[in-house]
Amino acid sequence: MCGIVGCHHVPDAKAFKPTALKMVKQCRHRGPDWSGSYVAGNTVLAHERLSIVGVDSGAQPLTNSDESIALAVNGEIYNHRVIRKGLKNPYHFKTHSDCEVIIPLYMEFDIDAPKHLDGMFSFVLYDKAQDRTIAARDPIGITSFYQGWSSKMPEATFFASELKCLHSVCDKIISFPPGHIYDSRTGKTTRYFEPTWWDPANVPTTPVDYKVLRETFEKAVRKRLMAEVPYGVLLSGGLDSSLVASIAQRETLRLKAAMLSQIEKGEVEKQNEDAGEGLVGIDDENKLTTTTFLPQLNSFSIGLPNAPDTKAALEVAKFLGTKHHDMTFTIEDGLNALSDVIYHLESYDVTTIRASTPMFLLSRKIKAMGVKMVLSGEGSDEIFGGYLYFHAAPDKKAFHEETVRRVKNLHLWDCLRANKSTSAWGLEARVPFLDKEFLEVSMNIDPEEKLITKDRIEKYILRKAFDTSDEPGAKPYLPEKILYRQKEQFSDGVGYGWIDALKDNAELHVTDEMMKNPKPEWAGDIPDTKEAYWYRMMFDDLFPPQCADTVVRWLPTWSKQTDPSGRAIATHIQKYEETK
């Protein structure tokens, strides 16, 4: 991940530049490799870079040949080679950066440019000739992005990767909507992402095709291995991360075999030259054939001693043959990190903080090992109805509507957690379940196929797609007990003592009297537990009031529980009792 700031229509751009640099410095943790800025007209762009692709070039802001167009972007564009080849008009690329293609796309397609991108991104682009700024965010909001305004500069508009960059200048801040683009020429923000599944009222009827589901997801994982730096996989031992790890390991082994073959034939040097990235890279025909070769795939897990996820992750790693790193943390470690976690998350949502803390601690250790990118399993539970509360869905229409709602709001919770917990340490997380093509396939499956029944565990069709037990001679993707392991929310799976400790400590910080007298400025957003109240107090100590407008609390549907933990749902207890 990188960090960006864009300041459009400030009264005096040159005079405002020092302020813009202070703003972007607040998110330097996202991009510790280099800093850059651009000033033209009444606009300032500033950038903090984490180099993953185009490491030896690609410093930002990126510009066209006469520097009349400048771009500050955070993200990865997986189809950049295809875009470069398919441009109608010749364009002189200055770098090997995957993100540079956004400039010629804008020159050809104007505000429709994001429609052609396959990746995760937030960007601010300034067109000097038109004195025009456009800003856009990826379809699901995998990368964090905010927009703000200042009453002291009513004509100005501000953009940044994180809240902390804006709140010293802006008194109104929103989370920039995913799948949208802003155009300063009209002052409007419009939706460019228009998938067939967007309207929840249109309940799909397409039967599941297990082969298509499997192959589309495999492609989604492979394209996210595009990197020129060491990478790994986050492996909790649950279904989603285990499938990601399995596919990544298969690709790693395939690449190893391909490299050995090329060495024998003396073709390695030529392949490197042709690819422009890694060993072979994602080629011009969009064939996902190779990426940077690593001799062994690294996998990472974290938990309290003897946590449910830790045991499962070790079993998966052993089965796959990854180089596994099993990290443990203590409850004290987690409690000590809470304030830092909330500072980086910029949220007071209970389930997000619970799950982010171990992820935050793990990310620090991963970065210390020299790894700069990891694959993660976010999004699957929203797509397939994997949360245990989906057992209570009254019918397939309600089930489908809830999956659409959850996917649309991922930027408020799981994407926010994955993005900010890792980028706090200059680590990038990529999420293949949120691939555009995979979403088009998976969200258009008849929700009848996704329903949880007496004979079907949650996410049954995903499990079945990767169940090769009835395919003669096929190598299994995962051990059967992992493939059909029941859902554990990450905050539960790292060890049940973690949530218990958070609740116990909240009791020490929040009294019954405080619960009865919440702050008047909280208005209708009143914490309903002492744990939620405790987090809100810490958030208020770190951020001014305008930042709270961007926070939405996660709670399960069809349930009256105030605790979002999967363990708090009766189904969790019942299912484990049945398997004893």
491: pLDDT strictly greater than 70: no
Residue 186 or 288, more confident: 186
Tell me the percentage of the chain whose pLDDT exceeds 90. 80
Q: Which of 142-156, 206-220, 555-569 has the lowest mean pLDDT?
A: 555-569
Does the annotation mark 7 as catalytic? no
Output the pLDDT for position 564: 67
Largest CA distance in the chain: 76
How much is the pLDDT for 306? Answer: 85
| DSSP H/E element including 254 | helix 239-265
State residue 34's pLDDT score: 87
Would you say residue 579 has pLDDT above 50? Answer: no
Same CATH fold assignment for domains 3-191 and 210-228+330-579:
no
pLDDT of residue 565: 61
Whole-angstrom distance, CA of residue 357 vs CA of residue 361: 6
Q: Which of the four CATH numbers 3.60.20.10, 1.10.3720.10, 3.30.70.930, 3.50.50.60 does domain 3-191 have?
A: 3.60.20.10
Of 2, 27, 165, 547, which is the active-site residue?
2
Prior bond of 61 cis (ω within 30°): yes
- Annotated binding-site members for ATP: 234, 302, 376-377
Parse the chain into domains and list their residue ranges. Answer: 3-191, 210-228+330-579
Question: What is the four-CA torsion angle of 136, 139, 142, 148, rounded to 10 degrees?
Answer: 30
Segment 175-198 mean pLDDT: 98
Task: Detail the residues annotated as belonging to a binding site for L-glutamine.
Answer: 98
Angstrom CA distances, 169 to 6, 544, 546, stand at 12, 11, 11
When pLDDT is averaged across residues 553-567 and rounded to a whole number, the result is 76
Confidence of residue 462 (pLDDT cuts 50, 70, 90): very high
The model's pLDDT over 511-522, given as tens digits with 9 standing for 90+, comes to 999 999 999 999
- pLDDT greater than 80 at residue 578: no
Please name the residue that has the structure tokens 């994997």: 386
Q: Residue 150's beta-bridge partner residues?
A: 153
So what's the pLDDT on residue 484?
93
Using alpha carbons, select from 444, 460, 447 the residue that is nearest to residue 400: 447
Which residue in 148, 142, 141, 143 sits closest to 168, CA to CA?
148
Mean pLDDT of 370-399: 96
Q: Does residue 491 or residue 196 have the better pLDDT?
A: 196
* Higher per-residue pLDDT: 49 or 276: 49
Binding-site residues, in ranges, read: 98, 234, 302, 376-377
Question: What does the DSSP 8-state code read for residue 120?
Answer: E
How much is the pLDDT for 274? 41
Q: Residue 229 — very low, low, confident or very high, per pLDDT cuts 50/70/90?
A: confident
Q: Which pLDDT belongs to residue 263?
A: 75
231-234 and 373-375 as β-strands: parallel, antiparallel, unpaired?
Answer: parallel
The larger pLDDT score, comparing residue 273 to residue 311, is at: 311
Element (H, E) at 327: strand 323-328
What values do phi and psi take at 231, rounded to 5?
Answer: -135, 170
Average pLDDT estimate for 183-208: 97
Residues 6+ apart with CB under 8 A from 535: 338, 342, 348, 349, 350, 353, 527
Picking from 55, 62, 12, the residue whose alpha carbon sits closest to that of residue 36 is 62
**210-228+330-579 homologous superfamily:** HUPs (3.40.50.620)
pTM for the full model? 0.92
